[in-house]
Structure 1
Amino acid sequence: MSANFWNDPDHLLHIIITILIVDNLWSLYLLLREIRMVYRVVEVPEVISPYLPQELFERMRKYKLHKSWFTVVNTLVFVITIGVIELYFGFYGWLWNLATKCAVAPWMEHETVVSILFILFLSTYMTIKALPGHLYETYCIPSVQTKYYPPLGKRILKEVIEIILWLMVMIVLVLAIVYSFIAFGNYALLGMYLLSIVFTIILILIVPFLIDPCIGHRVPLEESALRTEMERLTEAVGFPIEQVHIIQVNDPNTGSNAFFYGCCCLKRIVIFDTLLLNRGQRNTSDLLPHEVGKGLRDNQVIAVVSHELGHWMHGHFYRAIILFKIHILLTFLLFALCFSHGPIYQAMGFEPGVQPIIVGFVVMFGFVLTPYTTLANFVLLTNTRHFEYQADSFAYELGYDRDLREALLKLYADNLTYPITDPCYSCWNHTHPTILDRLERLESLERGERFS
């Protein structure tokens, strides 16, 4: 019975449609919980009220509700309804046939060329399908944050360059995937996993040298009370002060941020200049109007750095990589179980025996593996929030709990991050605990409570 069920394309199609509907309805349920929470809280929480005026909080609240209800409608119409229609009528099989018919020359009939055409057609269709929602979100939902855009000519040039680069990356990726499976079959998955490990190592080696030019340019931490306190802190925990970098970001819309990255001699703490009060400048005349007054005082910056040092001391970078590699391994194992199963392709509208490699990737990662990836994402998010709590505890142990609380409050207000969220929604969507949760945890530490 189960074997017949597993080999029946009609049953598999119903399962895939059910996965699509249930996964998105679960996301909508969580979002509706979030919307209910936003409706219930109409006044700014007392703890953050000195940093966030009621008028600004109300604007943030209206923006949150507007965007959330837009997401509900967009998910119901474009993701669920149109998605079910696509699956039921074999859209992906039809699109592959269209790509095949467009292969007019003999050399274009090779699977790699047809795969590239298929991905180009699919990407174009997805862009058109998402365009109404994108336009509404961009022009009909007024942003709370004041954003400054480059001239129209530069924006168009940037879009064109991004499209060209994306096309180049996609073509190379499709060629690599298709040729790998043609040459090695299912062993290609093992090669891809090993290649991902090598790629991760390469990233660890080269990304520290790419951070500065991609984000901005490094500026020296001048002799000041901030540098003196920074030297004292890093010396106390054994972290080299030379690996604390101040980056003057290029994009004025970049939020206040700091992060730890790397390992061994390549480890570093990166601090955006937007984290510093008035971007670390004494003369505020060169700043944009919305930048004046933003940022943290020196003692608050030190508290944030102590939090980042907590990530280093607890080995969060290594642990996150190991956990992610386990996730990738499990994903590839599940992928290998389903990838060569013909009835899945027939359920998607393909003729028996037609199992395009690139379509297998789209279908498996887009639909079949969704239950696993959703649960795995929950586990990964839970882990990252645990890391944040551990880093906060480290800052507390160094005596920076009060300054860290003030820094968190100021950062949330500067970045216009909405402070209210439903706990269940947060568990499934947020990489960081909410500000109220982090403040409560710090207060609990002061009361002598400990958490596993």
Structure 2
Amino acid sequence: MYEVECQSIEPERIKFKGMIEEYFKENGIEYSDSVISKFANFRVGKLPSWLCVWMCKNDEEVVAVIAHELGHWKLNHTMFSFIAVQILTLLQFGGYTLVRNSKDLFQSFGFDTQPVLIGLILFQHTVIPLQHLVSFLLNLVSRAFEFQADAFAKKLGYGAPLRAGLIKLQEENLSAMNTDPWYSAYHYSHPPLVERLAAIDEPDKKTD
């Protein structure tokens, strides 16, 4: 059974929640109003099959976030990420093969034979510097994709709802809104909230 959670003072009057309930009824899916908070689920370590209609008191914000996700699909971000992961996986297998077959490398560490496990350990330590570089580059690409998806949603006319939705998502996640640019560029796959809001507002400023 699914549990429907709606963070609103009067969830029974929320249009979006009603749409979800109507969908459940039409398709014969059993559901009930959630009686357990997300914090309680976290404390007990349970993740039930539930549908969380997050902050559903504003339908436009929900649609704006969906428009952002559709932007990733429309701009082929998902396909690019999939291809990039496959290429990186092939490179990892190829790199491991080179390390595994390198007698000189094993001998330099005092091994007369070439055990598979030792080869894997040597490969992991060898690629650590490259992993940091690749992770940084992937974060740069991911951040660029987020800006493009935001611009896509704004182009569809959901700039203001997306802005409000991002702020609420940030409040829900309790994450930093304005971090150091260099730190966020290296560690975060998504731009900080302040940068995203500035990018959403930028076209409006240019037209003034």
Deviation at 1:225, TM superposition (A): 3.6
For residue 375 of structure 1, the aligned residue among 133, 157, 164 is 133
* 1:411 aligned onto 2:197: no
Q: What is the match of residue 38 of structure 2?
A: 252
> Residue 360 of structure 1 is aligned with which of 119, 122, 128?
119
User: Contact between 1:327 and 1:376, CA under 8 Å: does it hold in 2?
Assistant: no
Question: Match of 1:439?
Answer: 197
**Structure 1: 5+ residue stretches without partners:** 1-215, 231-241, 243-247, 256-270, 278-295
Cα distance 1:217–1:347, how it changes in 2: closer, same or farther (>3 A)? farther
CA 217–317 in structure 1, closer or farther in 2 if over 3 Å, else same: farther
How far the C-alpha of 1:326 sits from its partner, in A, is: 1.5
1:448 deviates by: 4.4
How far residue 335 of structure 1 moved from its aligned partner, in angstroms, is 2.4
What's the offset of the Cα at 1:362? Answer: 2.4
Residue 328 of structure 1 is matched in structure 2 by 89
Structure 1 residue 226 corresponds to structure 2 residue 16? yes
Structure 1 CA distance, aligned partners of 2:91 and 2:200?
Answer: 36
The answer on whether the counterparts of 1:335 and 1:369 sit within 8 Å (CA) in structure 2 is no
- Cα distance change on mapping 1:313 and 1:218 into 2, 3 Å: farther
Q: Which amino acid counterpart does residue 322 of structure 1 have in structure 2?
A: I
Aligned counterparts of 1:395 and 1:361: Cα–Cα separation in 2: 44
**Distance in structure 2 (CA, Å) of the matches to 1:341 and 1:385:** 38
Shift of 1:374: 1.6
Query: Residues 330 and 318 from structure 1, CA distance in 2 versus in 1: closer, same or farther, beyond 3 angstroms?
Result: same
Q: How does 1:90-239 map to 2 (within 5 A)?
A: 217=2, 225-226=15-16
1:351 is matched with 111
Of 180, 188, 201 in structure 2, the residue corresponding to residue 430 of structure 1 is: 188
Q: Are residues 437 and 374 of structure 1, via their aligned partners in 2, closer, same or farther at CA, if it must alter by over 3 Å? A: same
Q: Distance in 2 between matches of 1:368 and 1:375?
A: 13
> More helix per residue: 1 or 2?
1
Structure 2: distance between partners of 1:445 and 1:322: 32
CA RMSD, aligned part only? 3.5
Shift of the alpha carbon at 1:357? Answer: 0.6
Does 1:394 find its partner at 2:152? yes
Q: Find the counterpart in structure 2 of residue 312 from structure 1.
A: 73
**Native 8 Å contact 2:2 2:51 kept in 1:** no
Q: Contact (CA 8 Å) 1:303, 1:395: kept in 2 or not?
A: yes
Deviation at residue 399 of structure 1 after TM alignment: 1.0
Partner of 1:447: helix, strand, or coil? helix
SS at match of 2:190: coil
Q: C-alpha deviations, 1:47-91, integer Å up to 9, x for none? A: xxxxxxxxxxxxxxxxxxxxxxxxxxxxxxxxxxxxxxxxxxxxx
1:351–1:315 Cα change, 3 Å: closer
- For 1:346 and 1:274, how far apart are their aligned partners in 2? 59
Q: Is the 8 A contact 2:147 2:196 kept in 1?
A: yes
Looking at structure 2, the residues matched to 413 and 224 of structure 1 have their Cα atoms a distance apart, in angstroms, of 21
Q: Does the 8 Å CA contact 2:143/2:190 hold for their aligned counterparts?
A: yes
Counterparts in 2 of 1:227 and 1:302: CA distance versus 1, 3 Å:
farther
Tell me, which stretches of 5 or more residues in structure 2 are unaligned?
Answer: 5-11, 21-26, 28-32, 43-49
Identity %: 30
Does the Cα contact within 8 Å between 1:229 and 1:302 map onto a contact in 2?
no
Aligned pair count reads 182
Amino acid corresponding to residue 64 of structure 2 in structure 1 = A
Q: CA deviation at 1:379?
A: 1.7
CA distance in 1, matches of 2:201, 2:86: 35
Specify the SS of the correspondent of 1:273. Answer: strand
The equivalent of 1:338 in structure 2 is 99
Whichever residue aligns with residue 111 of structure 2, its letter is E
Instruction: For 1:252 and 1:218, locate their aligned partners in 2 and report how far apart those are by CA, in whole Å.
Output: 12
Q: Partner residue of 1:50? A: none
Task: Report the Cα distance in structure 1 between the residues aligned to 2:89 and 2:181, rounded to whole angstroms.
Answer: 27
Higher alpha-carbon Rg:
1
Structure 2-normalised TM-score?
0.72
* Mapped partners of 1:223, 1:419: distance in 2: 32
Deviation of 1:440 after TM superposition, in Å, equals 0.8
Alpha-carbon offset, residue 368 of structure 1: 0.4
